[in-house]
Amino acid sequence: CSAPCAEAMRAHSEQFGCCWETVMQAYSQLDGRAASAWRSWQGTLSGKCGVSFQRDSCGDSAGEGQFRRLRAQVAQLRKSQAASAALIRGLVSELGGLGRDLCELQGEWVPCASL
């Protein structure tokens, strides 16, 4: 493979708008035969031109990392809210007659008279 060809292949891979391995992950999900064909082409390109795109991974798909972090934050908030609700229930129970005026409605404590 000539140097201009190898350079053209590197430049073309950058025009995907994402990295080669990320594109290959998408092909694997969409059509295994297409992914296999592209892998074969990549092997030929690597063997004949010395061009390898494997090290150029984008990591998470667009927005996926942010979505995972957001889901983790929501899970942590739910866990914290559940712990707080359990603590409040325990305190209301300990108050005995004094806590009877409080009712839990959709996860919030409100005066029972307002229901």
Over residues 55-64, the mean pLDDT reads 55
CB 77 within 8 A of CB 28: no
Inter-axis angle of helices 32-49 and 3-14, to 10 degrees? 140
Digit-coded pLDDT (tens) for 33-58:
888 888 888 788 778 877 766 554 55
Q: Output 19 or 110, whichever has higher pLDDT.
A: 110
* pLDDT in the model for residue 85: 83
CA distance 84 to 90: 10
pLDDT in tens, 3-15: 888 788 777 766 6
Contacts of 100 (CB under 8 A, 6+ apart): 112
Question: Average of pLDDT values for 73-100?
Answer: 82
